[in-house]
């Protein structure tokens, strides 16, 4: 599956001059919600992810996503795996399981995001799910920004990765971007203006 091609086609992989959330500049940006805009495409991606998880032999009872970004990817993955879909959400700073969702003791949960950057939100979701007695067996995301190591990739994890090393991360592809501090950014040196993605023109 040409995952990068699918992201480009969906205008989810942008090329230009961007300010990342870290403050660094890059010539690429992943607008990951855009790839889920078309439900058919979302289903296709989630089915490929589900296939990787099935092949690993890991058994999953429930997919849990951190809101808001992970909900669509989590729901589609749950549909593809034929299991339950729940989400945790941030309330006054910390993640909570709300809206009547429950997990039971020993229930096998996979935490799913649309994109894993450092895995901070996924890890918070994992902590709350495990505090309620369920077992987080793995992590999943459609895209991996290359800070954490996904199954089947030889890109080694970076120090920024917050996911545990003893649980697998399933993702369709690595999206590693060249990043520069604003002072060292070659695009800035050429005189171009960096834009914040998510703003009107990005």
Residues that bind Zn ion (CB under 5 A): 25, 185, 187-188, 194
d(CA 131, CA 134): 7
- DSSP classification of residue 150: P
200 exposed, middle or buried (CB, 10 Å; 0-12, 13-18, 19+)?
A: exposed
Minimum CB separation of residue 197 from Zn ion in Å reads 13
Helix (H, G, I), strand (E, B) or coil at 184: coil
Q: Which residue is nearest to Zn ion (CB)?
A: 185
Question: In the complex with Zn ion, which residue's Cβ is closer, 87 or 180?
Answer: 180
Minimum CB separation of residue 69 from Zn ion in Å reads 25
Minimum CB separation of residue 194 from Zn ion in Å reads 4
Minimum CB separation of residue 23 from Zn ion in Å reads 11
Question: In the complex with Zn ion, which residue's Cβ is closer, 166 or 201?
Answer: 201
d(CA 115, CA 175): 10
Q: Please answer whether residues 80 and 38 qualify as being in contact, where contact means their C-beta atoms are separated by less than 8 angstroms.
A: no
* Closest among 8, 5, 15, 12 to 114, alpha carbons compared: 12
Minimum CB separation of residue 187 from Zn ion in Å reads 4
Question: In the complex with Zn ion, which residue's Cβ is closer, 18 or 87?
Answer: 18
**Token pair in block for residue 75:** 């729901």
């Amino acid at each position: 599956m040409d995952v990068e091609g699918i992201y480009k086609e969906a205008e989810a992989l942008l090329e230009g001059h961007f300010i990342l959330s870290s403050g660094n500049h890059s010539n690429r940006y992943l607008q990951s919600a855009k790839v889920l805009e078309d439900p058919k495409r979302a289903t296709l991606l989630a089915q490929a992810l589900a296939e990787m998880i099935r092949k690993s032999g890991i058994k999953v009872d429930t997919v849990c996503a951190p809101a808001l970004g992970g909900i669509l990817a989590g729901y589609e993955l749950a549909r593809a795996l034929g299991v339950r879909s729940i989400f945790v959400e941030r309330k006054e700073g910390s993640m909570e399981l709300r809206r009547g969702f429950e997990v039971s003791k020993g229930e096998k949960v996979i935490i799913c995001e649309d994109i894993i950057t450092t895995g901070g939100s996924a890890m918070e979701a994992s902590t709350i799910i495990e505090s309620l007695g369920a077992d987080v067996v793995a992590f999943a995301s459609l895209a991996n920004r290359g800070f954490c190591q996904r199954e089947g990739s030889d890109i080694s994890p970076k120090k920024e990765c917050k996911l545990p090393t003893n649980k697998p991360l399933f993702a369709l592809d690595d999206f590693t971007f060249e990043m520069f501090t604003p002072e060292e950014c070659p695009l800035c040196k050429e005189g171009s203006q960096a834009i914040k993605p998510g703003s009107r023109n990005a």
